[in-house]
Amino acid sequence: MDFYKSTVIYGLLVLSALFLSCSNKENKTDTIETRVNQLLDRMTLDEKIGQMTQIDPGFAGGEEQMKKSVRDGRYGSMLNLFGVEKVNELQKISVEESRLGIPLLIGRDVIHGYQTIFPIPLGMAASWNPEIVKKAFRISAIECSSQGIKWTFAPMVDITWDPRWGRIAEGCGEDPFLASSLSRAMVEGIQGESLTDPSAVAACAKHFVGYGFSEGGRDYSTTYISEPVLRNVVLKPFLAARDAGALTFMSGFNDLNGVPASGNEFTLKQILRKEWDFKGMVVSDWASVSEMISHGYCSNEKEAALKALKAGVDMEMSSLTYAGNIKALLQEGRIEQWVIDDAVRNILRVKYKLGLFENPYVSPEAQKQLLNPEFLDHAQKVARQSAVLLKNDQKTLPLSQKIRSVAVFGPLADSPRDQLGTWVFDGKAENSVTPLAAIRELLGPDKVNFIKGLQYSRDKNRGEFVKALALAKQSDAILYFGGEEWILSGEGQSRGEINLPGAQEELIAELARSGKPLVVIIMAGRPLAVGKVAGMADALLYGWHGGTMAGPALADLIFGKESPSGKLPVTFVKGSGQIPFYYYHNQTGRPASEGSWTPMDSIPVVNPQSSLGYKSFHLDYGFTPLYPFGYGLSYTTFKYSGLKLSSMSMSTTGSIVVSANITNTGEMDGDEIVQFYIRDRVGSITRPVKELKGFQRVSIPQGMQKEIQFTLNAKDLSFFNGKTQVVEPGEFDVWIGPNSAEGLHGEFNMH
């Protein structure tokens, strides 16, 4: 009886604690809203406009003028403010010397690391591992918050189908499902378990929306996106960021269907605020409000400020159209007071949620977190899992650590800054460990023969080719590290042709003449057209720009400490003329297939009028990519078998379980990324040939088998059909496989 009583009492205590916890959460929210409104009531119009203004110190009129402006409440946020001392100094002025003591929100671009630099986000996406990505962004937040940065303009979750676009490096590739999974992980990593933790940083999902669809891959260019593509593809990673609790969103540079993103009421008001009920803050991209004049959407800065504010941009970055025009717009009756108040309310809410009012300063002790050995270990792990093995003829890789000598060539073999990649402001080249350094450490310097052959990726000087070939002939194997310098990808760095720049292909061809095993490792910020290189190499490993620890990570893979396990997060095309090419395209009425097309070089010179099969393909590229989405090899092999569906039918509110057995049939332990795809055969609008609906990264020991299950809910099959979101009955295909082009096939009906 005593035990029964104690159990009941314990249960009541637990229920009471849960009730109090829920009440406390509600009270905390109520408290924040109450404090926001009370503070708002005390603010002058100038102070409100100040909160809506973000400035770079370099544009603040000098240090003394900047301090005066902070003291007068003219800035709500600063970006690119360096150093703990400087941050604390300005924060002290804002908190202790301004009239209302509102803390500054300090922002910075921390895209894939602060000082511990991780692979570019596109590289991290190749890991298909949200957990390690989440930890990478948590580390980034710990490091940057130790310097007083409480807001980062990440993650960038723009979907793109065009590898010519330089900013593909910053995103997660072409697929909305994979990008959404990683978007959630990145936001959770940045913001941490508790927003009031000193290491918590506000995330900013960017660029809302459609920026990755810039025409021709030209940065900042026009985008035309149908509403079904917008809702079924482009918006999904942003919704995932919102669901993960992202405190802020950023409007983009682009115009979307004729309306610039920073003045677009449909995306910012209708979708983000009304449909998604987003309560956070929207910031413009750098000067994107004033750039609406260049777009031809606004005639002057006053009109730009009006349209951005009415659309829902709460804070203006860099340009000063808000600061210079809001007061006049209010006086003229062109804007109402509540619009201003709502924007300021959104800004103050973020500051309260981050605990800045209670803890505005950063402790100098926090600086000890930079480049923590555990952080570097994780950077090496992420770089290992991000690398993708694209070719490995005759098991060229892994090389034996007992090899007598290896020749190392290429402009990226020992280029510490380039391996960090684009959009790195605070990472230092001297902290990078290059592939050459790592290989020398692993094998001993006497076993490594090295000359660059080309001094940088665009180098066309063939002066070292003869020496390179001679050195290659003296070695047992060749490692060529090529690709792109960091400056060739990222913002503003669009390319028309995406082959290896400079004379790299010519040097690789020269090295291939040696007859020695040739391994090519590509370090780049985008998917390059590497078909010609793949034809010359015995093995091809894609390492992206792998960050601080790229060298040790690649050495681990090359010499078999671990097996490559990454898979492509984007389709690799054969050349720029094949762009756009993405795996979930809609089917044409005349689809090509093997045997239904004629390669251009096979066409007779004298030929009657003919369309050569009347199918959809390129005469020179055919109809398949160089490497499909999801592709990646391993040092071991995996066999897929035994596909099962829990039912051959499901209702429009039901679910089914699809499973398969994955067996490691090779000679070493390995990780496999098992992918789950579906096809809706017939819809009220045409549906994609395949769509990713699940994936699992699994470790399978040599000779062992694992059953992998995916649960497919009816809601997972919903789509926007041009009018509304629907789940439509019909026939569906399913695949479980190693990439988007292969897999075990099944089918079911929805009724």
- Confidence class of residue 9 from pLDDT cuts 50, 70 and 90? very low
Indicate whether 360 pLDDT > 70.
yes
- Confidence class of residue 20 from pLDDT cuts 50, 70 and 90? very low
Task: Compare 84 and 24 and report the one with higher pLDDT.
Answer: 84
Indicate whether 6 pLDDT > 70.
no
Indicate whether 455 pLDDT > 50.
yes
- Confidence class of residue 19 from pLDDT cuts 50, 70 and 90? very low
Query: What length does the chain have?
Result: 751
Indicate whether 120 pLDDT > 80.
yes
pLDDT in tens, 175-213: 999 999 999 999 999 999 999 999 999 999 999 999 999
Indicate whether 596 pLDDT > 90.
no
pLDDT at 27: 61
- For 609, half-sphere exposure in the C-beta direction (CA atoms, 13 angstrom radius) is 0
pLDDT in tens, 244-257: 999 999 999 999 99
pLDDT in tens, 627-679: 999 999 999 999 999 999 999 999 999 999 999 999 999 999 999 999 999 99
- Confidence class of residue 18 from pLDDT cuts 50, 70 and 90? very low
Can you tell me the mean pLDDT for 698-726?
98
Distances 702 to 458, 636, 667, 669 between C-alpha atoms, Å? 43, 8, 6, 5
Indicate whether 609 pLDDT > 60.
yes
Q: Spot the catalytic one: 285, 314, 414, 459.
A: 285
Indicate whether 242 pLDDT > 70.
yes
Which residue shows structure tokens 């892994």? 398
pLDDT in tens, 280-337: 999 999 999 999 999 999 999 999 999 999 999 999 999 999 999 999 999 999 999 9
CATH number of 638-750: 2.60.40.10
Residue type, 448: V
Which residues touch 446 (CB under 8 Å, ≥6 apart)?
A: none
Can you tell me the mean pLDDT for 683-706?
98
Indicate whether 734 pLDDT > 50.
yes
pLDDT at 611: 61
CATH of region 370-558, choose from 3.40.50.1700, 3.40.50.11740, 3.40.50.150, 3.40.1190.20: 3.40.50.1700
Instruction: Decide if domain 27-102+280-353 falls under CATH 3.40.50.10800.
Output: no
Phi, psi values for residue 389, rounded to 5° = -85, 115
- Confidence class of residue 16 from pLDDT cuts 50, 70 and 90? very low
pLDDT at 24: 47
Indicate whether 367 pLDDT > 80.
no
Can you tell me the mean pLDDT for 330-355?
98
- Confidence class of residue 614 from pLDDT cuts 50, 70 and 90? confident
Which residues touch 748 (CB under 8 Å, ≥6 apart)?
A: 645, 647, 648, 649, 650, 656, 731, 732, 734
Indicate whether 506 pLDDT > 70.
yes
pLDDT at 610: 65
Can you tell me the mean pLDDT for 720-733?
97
Strand pairing of 730-739 and 259-260? Answer: unpaired
Distances 662 to 137, 595, 675 between C-alpha atoms, Å? 31, 31, 11
Indicate whether 109 pLDDT > 90.
yes
- Global pTM value: 0.95
Strand pairing of 649-650 and 691-700? Answer: unpaired
b/e map of 470-502 (b: 16 or more CB within 10 Å)?
ebbeebebbbbbbbbbbbbbbbebbbeebebbb
Indicate whether 3 pLDDT > 60.
no
- Active site annotation includes 30: no
Indicate whether 401 pLDDT > 60.
yes
Among 287, 221, 197, 208, CA closest to 249: 208
- For 431, half-sphere exposure in the C-beta direction (CA atoms, 13 angstrom radius) is 21
pLDDT at 721: 97
Q: Is 419 helix (H, G, I), strand (E, B) or coil?
A: helix
If you average pLDDT over every residue of the chain, what do you get? Answer: 94
Q: Is 645 helix (H, G, I), strand (E, B) or coil?
A: strand
Beta strands in 577-724 (DSSP E): 638-645, 649-650, 655-664, 670-680, 691-700, 705-713, 719-720
Domain-wise residue ranges, the chain:
27-102+280-353, 370-558, 638-750
pLDDT at 693: 98
pLDDT at 29: 65
Say whether 638-750 and 370-558 share the same fold: no
Can you tell me the mean pLDDT for 469-483?
98
- Confidence class of residue 577 from pLDDT cuts 50, 70 and 90? very high
Return the minimum-mean-pLDDT range out of 14-18, 42-46, 67-71, 735-739: 14-18
pLDDT in tens, 532-572: 999 999 999 999 999 999 999 999 999 999 999 999 999 99
pLDDT at 604: 80
Token representation of residue 65: 């003028």
Please say whether the beta carbons of 486 and 443 come within 8 A: no
pLDDT over 90, % of the chain: 91
